[in-house]
């Protein structure tokens, strides 16, 4: 039987004998740097339209564990994703219908009462400085310094009132009605439905040489990020409800608005709570004019910080949150400066990923000869 295979064509003289089977170090670094540069360029180029998509991805990431549990119970992934997105949209709509008119009404009170608040703060500071002058003597407090302090406090309260009015009154202008109502829920549904398939596809694209390392980094990042998100959600929700009810019961006219704002700003460690505390105390001074009522407001925030520091984090999260507060604050401000609201949404995931990669390379360094090389004992 004769051989019927076609003859092999001759190899051109300028063609290498075979393609290299191992990537060079330059090719690996080129791949990583090229991907990073392309990602930053796309964020910069499309930052005006990426916000609803990033928000939808955040929602899908947060709801993925619930959708997975429903799928394990026998409910198809698509139906489970639709039910979860619908439930979240209904809760958001009810919250807006209940809270937005109330907040607008309290903003009206703020606009009407702001001159009285400013006068009350000025009078309270004047009385305090007068007492200090009586206790320390007239030589310790200059009259011009006292008036300057009073004017600066009044100007600060006026600025805070105006900023709160613009932020809350115009905050919903950050999203158009079409984007907020249609695009984000639809994109979140498709992302949540296809989340496992997308992760599988992305995993199949990983370089085979470093696939295990990337998987471990991704698992560590997911653990840190999910713990942080869960902790911040519990803190924001719990402290917002506590502050709103407590400040309202204490008689603060804008207690509900200040409480909600304080709870929402808790996602910025320390900065958010201190901002809410300072705003509530200034408004209490302007409204009450009595230090006893102001001390009640101070006690409410002290109790709130105790709930956060001694109940929510230790008992509900333990030591799973591995993001330092300073690193989170820096990431939020850096992301906001670089990409605006989109940067704020991306700041914590990026901070979690960078922290995990840094700890991985630090472990590699501590195990390497570069660190373990013994010191010289002689020339």
CA angle 100, 104, 105 (to 5 degrees): 120
CA 226 to chain centre: 12
Whether residue 232 sits in one domain with residue 191: no
CA dist., res. 226 & res. 214, Å (int)? 18
CA dist., res. 39 & res. 377, Å (int)? 48
Place of tokens 């008119």: 101
Which value, to the nearest 10 degrees, does the dihedral of the CA atoms of residues 86, 91, 94, 96 take? -110
* Other C-beta atoms lying within 10 Å of the C-beta of residue 285: 24
Whether residue 183 sits in one domain with residue 146: yes
In a domain, 31, yes or no: no
Place of tokens 């201190």: 274
pLDDT at 233 over 70: yes
Place of tokens 């984000």: 184
Whether residue 247 sits in one domain with residue 198: no
User: Residue 76: which domain range?
Assistant: 50-168+177-203
Q: Which of 158, 146, 157, 167 is nearest to 278 (CA)?
A: 157
In a domain, 187, yes or no: yes
What are the tokens at 62?
Answer: 């947060």
Whether residue 154 sits in one domain with residue 219: no
Tell me how long the chain is.
Answer: 379
Whether residue 164 sits in one domain with residue 65: yes
Cα 121 to Cα 68, 163, 273: the distances in Å are 54, 18, 21
- CB burial string 218-250: b at 16+ within 10 A, e below: bebbbebbbbbbbbbebbbebbbebbbebbbeb
In a domain, 41, yes or no: no
Whether residue 298 sits in one domain with residue 192: no
CB–CB of 103/95 below 8 Å? no
CA dist., res. 295 & res. 367, Å (int)? 54
In a domain, 33, yes or no: no
pLDDT per position as a tens digit, 14-64: 545 555 567 787 887 888 888 888 888 888 888 777 888 888 898 999 899
Considering 157, 185, 203, which residue would you say is the last residue of a domain? Answer: 203
In a domain, 18, yes or no: no
Answering whether pTM is above 0.85, one says no
* Other C-beta atoms lying within 10 Å of the C-beta of residue 331: 22
Whether residue 161 sits in one domain with residue 79: yes
Place of tokens 């002058």: 133
In a domain, 21, yes or no: no
Number of domains in the chain: 2
Share of the chain above pLDDT 70, in %: 77
Whether residue 341 sits in one domain with residue 280: yes
Whether residue 221 sits in one domain with residue 90: no
Whether residue 228 sits in one domain with residue 134: no
In a domain, 109, yes or no: yes
pLDDT per position as a tens digit, 121-155: 777 777 776 776 666 555 555 555 556 555 666 66
Residue-by-residue DSSP string for 68-101: HHHHHTT--HHHHHHHHHHHHHHHHHHHHHHHHH
Q: Where are the beta strands (DSSP E) in the chain?
A: none
In a domain, 218, yes or no: yes
pLDDT of amino acid 224: 83
Whether residue 183 sits in one domain with residue 228: no
CA dist., res. 214 & res. 360, Å (int)? 11
CA dist., res. 266 & res. 233, Å (int)? 9
pLDDT of amino acid 162: 58
pLDDT per position as a tens digit, 74-126: 999 999 999 999 999 898 888 878 777 777 777 777 767 777 777 777 777 77
Four-residue CA torsion sign, 170, 171, 177, 178? positive
Contacts of 148 (CB under 8 A, 6+ apart): none
CA dist., res. 205 & res. 216, Å (int)? 15
For residues 319-328, average pLDDT: 70
Whether residue 255 sits in one domain with residue 228: yes
What are the tokens at 259?
Answer: 């409480």
Contacts of 206 (CB under 8 A, 6+ apart): 214, 215
């Amino acid at each position: 039987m004769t051989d019927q295979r076609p003859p092999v064509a001759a190899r051109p003289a300028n063609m290498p004998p075979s393609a290299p089977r191992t990537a060079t170090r330059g090719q690996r670094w080129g791949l990583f740097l090229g991907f990073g540069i392309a990602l930053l360029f796309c964020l910069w180029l499309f930052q005006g339209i990426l916000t609803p998509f990033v928000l939808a991805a955040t929602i899908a990431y947060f709801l993925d564990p619930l959708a997975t549990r429903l799928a394990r119970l026998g409910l198809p992934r698509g139906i489970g994703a639709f039910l979860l997105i619908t439930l979240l949209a209904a809760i958001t709509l009810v919250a807006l219908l209940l809270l937005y008119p109330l907040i607008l009404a309290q903003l009206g009170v703020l606009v009407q009462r702001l001159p009285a608040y400013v006068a009350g703060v000025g009078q309270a500071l004047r009385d305090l400085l007068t007492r200090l002058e009586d206790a320390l003597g007239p030589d310790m407090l200059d009259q011009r310094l006292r008036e300057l302090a009073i004017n600066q406090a009044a100007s600060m309260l006026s600025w805070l009132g105006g900023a709160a009015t613009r932020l809350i009154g115009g905050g919903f202008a950050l999203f158009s009605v079409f984007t907020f109502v249609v695009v984000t829920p639809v994109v979140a549904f498709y992302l949540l439905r296809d989340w496992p398939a997308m992760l599988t596809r992305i995993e199949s694209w990983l370089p085979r040489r470093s696939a295990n390392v990337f998987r471990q980094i991704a698992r560590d990042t997911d653990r840190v990020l999910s713990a942080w998100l869960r902790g911040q959600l519990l803190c924001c929700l719990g402290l917002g409800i506590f502050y709103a009810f407590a400040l309202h019961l204490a008689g603060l006219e804008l207690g509900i608005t200040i409480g909600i704002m304080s709870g929402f700003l808790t996602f910025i460690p320390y900065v958010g709570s201190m901002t809410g505390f300072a705003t509530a105390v200034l408004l209490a001074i302007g409204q009450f004019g009595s230090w006893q009522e102001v001390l009640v407001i101070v006690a409410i925030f002290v109790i709130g910080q105790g709930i956060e520091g001694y109940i929510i984090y230790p008992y509900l999260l333990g030591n799973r949150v591995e993001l330092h507060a300073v690193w989170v604050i820096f990431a939020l401000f850096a992301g906001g400066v670089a990409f605006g609201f989109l940067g704020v949404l991306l700041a914590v995931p990026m901070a979690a990923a960078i922290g995990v990669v840094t700890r991985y390379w630090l472990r590699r360094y501590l195990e390497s000869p570069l660190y373990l090389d013994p010191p010289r004992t002689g020339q």
